[in-house]
Amino acid sequence: MVSPPKSFTELENAIAVRFRDKELLAQSLTHRSSVRRSKTNGHNERLEFLGDAVLELVTTDYLFRLSDRPEGELTNWRSALVQRENLANVAHEIELGDYLFLSRGEQAGGGRSRDSNLANALEALIGAIYIDRGFAVAKDFCERFIIARLATLLASGKHRDEKSLFQEHAQEQLGVTPRYEVLHAVGPDHDKQFTCAVFLGEEKVAEGVGNSKQKAEQAAAKEGLLLKKWKQ
């Protein structure tokens, strides 16, 4: 295991949160790769699970009180805030990668700057703050570092999902409405993986995979935006 180059005190100063239980803070920043396989509770995945739920509640409550917009629109706003890209950007800003415990292999492979590691660690940190300092402090952290980015995300169009964007571009530039087809689905009912394709007329533009038809369609639309060079 490789220890982080920065001290927890520096992180606590950066986020203005003092942990009572430093071991809990350490666990939130411990990547699975740095824990022996025989251990199950030393890494941050359980805290990530908790932090994800806390963040979603805080975000939902904030948006509900902020605006009387329709449910679908608020859902898109929330998705923009809690998506991996936004969480990774927040983690980069507070240099969270410099506090992670990683295996030597993970560090050598760029693990301190990998978006997935950073987004997961940020959610785990939220979970740890919730346990150590309570909901009010976790809520304050989420609002200061994540929800504060809402205006910027809306201005840049991050709240618009890929299917909506792909349809807008297709209709504006080609006069065609995209259609989606499930190509195949594999796995048991409780863990099925879908592959969907997006078509413009008879042209199959792209494919996407997800654990639901909706996610697979979003993935196909995202790939389609890239292939058509419609991605902003």
With both helix axes pointing from N to C terminus, report the angle between 45-66 and 115-133 in degrees, rounded to the nearest 10: 80
d(C-alpha 139, C-alpha 27), whole Å: 20
d(C-alpha 68, C-alpha 66), whole Å: 7
Distances (CA, A) of 19 to 47, 168, 201: 15, 47, 57
Whether the Cβ atoms of residue 196 and residue 206 lie closer than 8 Å to each other: no
Distances (CA, A) of 61 to 35, 48, 54, 151: 35, 20, 11, 17
123 among known catalytic residues: yes
Catalytic residue, candidates 48, 123, 161, 223: 123
140 among known catalytic residues: no
Tell which residue, 42, 55, 46, 131, has the closest CA to residue 91.
55
Biggest CA pair distance of the chain? 61
Tell which residue, 7, 25, 182, has the closest CA to residue 99.
7
Q: What does the block give as tokens for 218?
A: 């979003």
Catalytic residue, candidates 48, 52, 132, 161: 52
Provide the annotated active-site residues.
52, 123
